[in-house]
Structure 1
């Protein structure tokens, strides 16, 4: 006769019951559960945390290709079965779990908000007007911006009670003679509730949603940071500072600058203080990281070696997202040393070899950071 349950202890819990318990616990608790005993370890399936660093979302052909996420920490591509069923759509921006796209249908431009976790896709009402940039604030506001020669105009759509407005609101044209050419790879940036754009000469344009009809205002300051550069990316730091990255075409980091909002001048940043920067796409992100080889580095979507692909599901448990392999034969690997993705440090001698790396086309950085403490 087998001993009573209270005498057999927790180690004898049925595997099905343990799996049911695990499905209700955050992913970060699974390693400690696996370390409890041999029996518990057998029911803890391998998983790859999605929050360890920003990921490169890559879709070769929107509407027909499964979504892929490249992890610089694992140097692997995680392919999920979900597709974004909007053929020929253009990736515009990312914000948390949402991806914003746009596509043309006849003479209309339609903006799309896609939830990357549950797969819900929502089309906003069409507009007979083209956009150079589309940005979503992650809550209730969507903006389309035209920034071509002699034109700087913004249109707005606001979500109320789960529904988007049927009409986009146009602002006034800034000027018939506007000379403001933004970086094609830098999305406008929300900062203290305002929307900023960076031009190639170092100037900023700012838009106040509460004064929508006035459109963008081109500021007298800041001016050029004082050196020549080819590529530039505007972003807001993890501490709420407006910053910019300036690069040359060969991948040399020229400077990281912070806007002094009292003097309205660019000031050079000498240290990332252990943070990491992910740039080179329409979204630039600064994050705190405990991964030592990522600290004080700037990462670009350029790879030296093509990574392996794992078919998986993206699963949310208690605000934590993880990639769960579909095959039981896949074992969980540790992180890599960062030699597979091109990056550079703050010093003049800390730029890795740019030549020999291949650009990761049609991609955007997304950040699935933990939603729980």
Structure 2
């Protein structure tokens, strides 16, 4: 029997100044060691193809090398003199010992390819410059298109055209004697992504696409960021191309494989490794822009975990990272088909009522088990049903509207809002109780299936954008199943509403920076259309409003995360006033582009919560309108705050253990139910049953890419 192929993915942090490297291995968690690799002295790893590492000089991109880390063989290419100060993405068509091997460089400023044929029989290698503008224009029909993210798959070279038309292009490379002819051929379109995970208002700059080939597999990866700063990842897509049907299939479980991405303004690199022997697979690791953090995306549950690299890396200020895949035992006889068969085992499966394992622990009459279940609610009921077939029969599926169950749930859920997670892939809605960590599941109503986004949450209701055939704005109460459809309105950025939509006083407000109108108002009970208002910003660009909050008939909103403005006397009439309450932000320790701001009402006061990029600083401010300043406060008293991207809720705590805390939509890494909270008393992060806390930042916590929000359970 041939030896099993085992690999360990190793991450290399390069420090060009000290000529040292720090190597992380995935076989032992957090294991690392410092080494000195002479071949990397003054050079940066720019890619890895067919077991060969591509090296370039750091400053000029003039000198290029091919290095085999197993044999230590180094191939020096002739100097390349770029026409401009170009940055390049590289690709190697086949191993250098192949007589038809060609090394290619793709410019990011001009539609050109510089390539060098690696013919070892020739005494001197040379570069050839080629423009592909005309060929690509004939395929896409557009000017100013560029090829990017070159890769190899099944002995062929592919690149991506990501501009007006999103296409994978095949580079047909033919070697004839001393000549190399390269023709561009359309291969396949890039897969489309659901709107709920990649909002339509996200600009082109908020997304980074890549393609990556490995043996006979071709992958497409799309990383979606919260904004153009690309600090926070909001979602990641991973697709694999079926070479038979030429259809993309989304991968929901990487099993023992991993990807490693480094995304900068100048270049993007992608590494892939499979058959890891340490149980550390299943992740897409994305290096942070600072080079000192890693965001690890897990497709299986669509979560992102933030990790801080060791102090040794931070002290050495590592310039660049790469991932090498060194095989310990290589089975050359292993067929490509075996790899394909292994991938085919990935299935999209969910089963809440697992009755395959029969239990003999509850050998009692069904009517006795039914009496027991009459006293259970929520999570206990679900767990009991999943034990065995007898338990499932004794505890049939019930609707939350059942009077007995409804009464128990109402009393049980009064303590705290729940974290609500919408899984559009499996059409399920999950509720997580932050106090005891219990989970509750319901099916997504048929009317809401498809693409959707959560706009905001309050009073037990969600305001949602639904994108099935056309855009719809609806109120949805997940506890009663009630849906209230609102009149058509264009896609808006931020919303708020003043009361439950069943109340005659409910008003909805929405803000946008697009189009001639910027403020939309709708009275749910008395109007059939939206009232539109144009705000006069003078010569300035339209303002962006975040976390608008109703206070009676007034709307307070953060403007560009700097000023606080109020829209007073919002009524059915067109009269209202628009004033700047404070023309500057608070004096916070975590001021910066990546700082997150959340505003909410606390009784009659307006509060502002600021959170640093990694949660290293959390501060609360209260608005003092008389002196037009934000005053920092060190305690919430008996109140508690729940924050997320779509909700910021301040309530009076039901018990002393809950007060003076800020609850985050994050889970402790390795735990599926422990919600993370911040204590203003200890200035540390905790879970509800953890008194000492686990840290002063949000590292080692994970957040969900599925649409989610905090919601107050309401059965009315």
Instruction: State yes or no: 1:118 paired with 2:480.
Output: yes
**Is 2:520 aligned against 1:155?**
yes
Partner of 2:550: 190
Structure 1 position 61 matched with structure 2 position 424: yes
Question: Structure 1 residue 366 and structure 2 residue 700: aligned?
Answer: no
> C-alpha displacement at 1:226, in angstroms?
2.1
1:79 aligned to 2:79? no
Q: Is the 8 A contact 1:231 1:247 kept in 2?
A: yes
Matched, 1:303 2:667: yes
1:130 paired to 2:475: no
TM-superposed CA distance for 1:159, in Å, is 2.7
Number of the residue aligned with 1:346:
680
Shift in Å at residue 232 of structure 1?
Answer: 0.6
Check 1:354–1:364 CA distance in 2 against 1; reply closer, same or farther (3 A cut): same
CA distance in 2, matches of 1:74, 1:126: 40
Other-structure match for 1:268:
632
Change (3 A) 1:300 1:152: farther
Contact 1:154 1:215 in 2 (8 A): no
Query: What is the 5 A alignment of 1:235-246?
Result: 235-237=600-602, 239-246=603-610
Structure-to-structure mapping, 1:1-373, within 5 angstroms: 49-61=412-424, 65-83=427-445, 85-86=447-448, 87-104=450-467, 109-127=471-489, 129-137=490-498, 138=500, 139=503, 140-148=505-513, 153-160=518-525, 165-178=527-540, 181-182=543-544, 186-208=546-568, 209-210=570-571, 213=574, 217-219=578-580, 221-227=582-588, 228-229=591-592, 230-237=595-602, 239-304=603-668, 305-307=670-672, 340-346=674-680, 349-351=683-685, 352=695, 353-361=697-705, 362-368=707-713
Q: CA–CA distance in 2 between the matches of 1:179 and 1:267?
A: 29
Once residues 176 and 143 of structure 1 are traced to their aligned partners in structure 2, the CA distance between those partners, rounded to angstroms, is 26
8 A contact 2:581–2:628 mirrored in 1: no
The 2-side partners of 1:219 and 1:134 are apart by 19
Give the structure with the larger strand fraction.
2
Once the 2 structures are TM-superposed, how far is the Cα of residue 47 of structure 1 from its aligned partner?
5.8
TM score, norm. by length of structure 1: 0.68
Residues in 1 aligned to 2:661 and 2:478: alpha-carbon distance in whole angstroms: 27
Q: CA deviation at 1:82?
A: 4.9
The Cα shift of 1:254 comes to 3.7
Higher radius of gyration, 1 or 2: 2
Report how far residue 360 of structure 1 moved: 2.9
Q: 1:93 to 1:201 in 2, by over 3 A?
A: closer
Helix, strand or coil at the partner of 2:571: helix
Tell me: CA distance 1:131–1:170, structure 2 relative to 1, closer, same or farther (3 Å): same
Distance 1:200 1:359 in 2: 25
Quote how far apart the aligned CAs of 1:218 are. Answer: 4.6
* Shift of residue 285, structure 1, vs aligned partner: 1.5
Aligned to 2:182: none
Distance 1:234 1:151 in 2: 27
CA contact (8 A) 1:150 1:175 kept: no
TM-score by length of 2: 0.37
1: CA distance, partners of 2:479 / 2:654: 25
Bigger relative CO (Cα 8 Å, ≥ 6 apart): 1
Deviation at 1:179, TM superposition (A): 5.1
Supply the distance in 1 between the matched residues of 2:512 and 2:543 (Cα, whole angstroms).
7
> 1:359 Cα shift?
0.5
Query: Cα deviation per residue 1:258-309 (whole Å; 9 max; x = unaligned)?
Result: 011222211111211132221123211122224444322211111014436x
| Structure 2: segments with no counterpart, 5+ residues | 1-366, 379-403, 686-694
The gaps in structure 1 that reach 5 residues or longer are: 1-14, 28-43, 309-339
Give the aligned length: 298
Measured after TM superposition, the shift of residue 206 of structure 1 is 1.7
Residues 90 and 102, structure 1, Cα contact 8 Å, conserved in 2: yes
Q: Secondary structure at the match of 1:85?
A: helix
Question: Partners of 1:355 and 1:152 in 2: how far apart?
Answer: 41
Contact 1:153–1:216 (8 Å) recurs in 2: no
Q: Over aligned residue pairs, what C-alpha RMSD do you find?
A: 3.7
Distance 1:116 1:297, change over 3 A: same
- Change in 2 beyond 3 A, CA 1:84/1:205: farther
Q: In 1, Cα distance between the equivalents of 2:655 and 2:561?
A: 35
For residues 134-189 of structure 1, what are the alpha-carbon distances to aligned partners after superposition, in whole Å with 9 as ceiling and x for unaligned? Answer: 322223444342332797721122233xxx63321111233253456547xx5311
